[in-house]
Structures are given as C-alpha cells and as structure tokens.
Amino acid sequence: MQHALRKEGKTATTDLREAIQALMDANHLNLCVECGKCSAVCPMVNFYGEYVHKRCTRSVVERLCYDPESIDDEVLWYCWACMECTFFCPSGVDFQNFMTSFRQLLVSNGYSEQACFCKACGTYMMPKRQLEYLEATLHSKGNQELLYECPNCKKGKYLSVLHGIFGSGKSVGR
C-alpha cells in the first residue's frame, strides 16, 4: 500500500514535511486531548457503512503527530470535511481546515492518486471515494453531470438542472 508521504519509493521532502508541520500547528492538531468527540460525531459510518478507527479524525491526528510517514494514502481521503469534528472539538482542533489544506498540499506535490479533478479546468475538487458515493446517490436522479466540474466552471451552466431538482419557483433554502 502506498504511504501518503512516500512516492515512488521516496519519502517526502523536508519542505513538504515542514509544510505539513506548519499546517498541523496552524490548525492546532497538537492540542488534541483524545476525548473522542470527533470520532463520535463523524458521519463517515453513514457513508461507508462501517466504523474503522484508522480512518477517524482522532486516529489521523495521533498518527500525524507521532509518525506522519506511516499513514497510508487511502486513510487521508475518507474525511468529507463536513466540520462536525471541528465544531465539537473542546480543544479547538480545526481538523476540517487541516484536512482540506493538507489534501491541497498533497495534490500540489504530486500525491493525487486518490483525488478527483474538474473536467473543465483541472482544479482539485474532492476525494475519489466521495465522488463515487455522490455518483451512486445521484444516479437515479440523472444529475451526475453536476459532479464533474468545480463551482467556478459550472457557474450558471446548470441552472436548468437545479430548477429541475428544486422546482423553478421554489427557493433552495426553504
């Protein structure tokens, strides 16, 4: 299994390790008190059908703090960045922002095996696993094309599709 910070047999560069450490510091990962609230509120089990400790927020934080090069690539791409863990964390760990920034950093350094990109402009959008779940969910509604472009590329293009989903005279927020 490929490790997140190893690519083609090489370990992460010092610059990448330093950038990851800066992200960890900026998002207060070192303040985790291992209370488990993040794991308790995480909706991953709803999406993936099972609870696997190594995928949960607390486990990722622990392993990044103690042995960042041991984390396998796949584990870092399960999180949906929904902010539940960040909202409930009593220590102020901003895992959602960390994970979003961390993935961007990985992608910009060529670690993109688990990432999906906008078909129009090539911008990183989301983890492959998340796209697969959304494809399956929207399959019966016939609106999968909404998934393959970033928000900037699809501005205005799919208004008719949204009207079909929500109705032309209805407010989306109501």
**What tens digit of pLDDT does each residue of 14-63 get?**
788 889 889 999 999 989 998 989 989 998 888 888 888 888 888 888 88
pLDDT over threshold 60, residue 171: no
The stretch 74-91 carries a mean pLDDT of: 91
Report the pLDDT value the prediction gives residue 12, as an integer from 0 to 100.
63
CA distances from 171 to 17, 159, 166 (A): 46, 13, 8
How wide is the angle at C-alpha 93 spanned by C-alphas 88 and 97, nearest 5°? 100
Distance CA 170, CA 155 (A): 19
- Straight-line distance from the first to the last Cα atom of the chain, in angstroms, rounded to the nearest whole number: 46
Question: How high does pLDDT run on average in the chain?
Answer: 81
To the nearest 10°, the Cα dihedral for 100, 12, 18, 20? 20
The sign of the torsion formed by the CA atoms of 126, 132, 135, 136 equals negative
pLDDT category, 174, cuts 50, 70, 90? very low
**What tens digit of pLDDT does each residue of 126-159 get?**
999 999 988 888 776 666 777 888 888 887 676 6
Q: Which residues pair with 72 in a beta bridge?
A: 3
Antiparallel, parallel or unpaired: β 124-127 and 115-117: antiparallel
Report the pLDDT value the prediction gives residue 13, as an integer from 0 to 100.
74
For the 6-113 domain, the top CATH level (class) is mainly alpha
Report the pLDDT value the prediction gives residue 114, as an integer from 0 to 100.
92
Would you say 74 and 114 are in contact if contact means Cβ atoms under 8 Å apart? yes
Residues forming CATH 1.10.1060 domain(s) in the chain: 6-113
Distance CA 109, CA 112 (A): 8
Collapsed DSSP state (helix, strand, coil) of residue 54:
helix
Report the pLDDT value the prediction gives residue 166, as an integer from 0 to 100.
74
pLDDT category, 125, cuts 50, 70, 90? very high
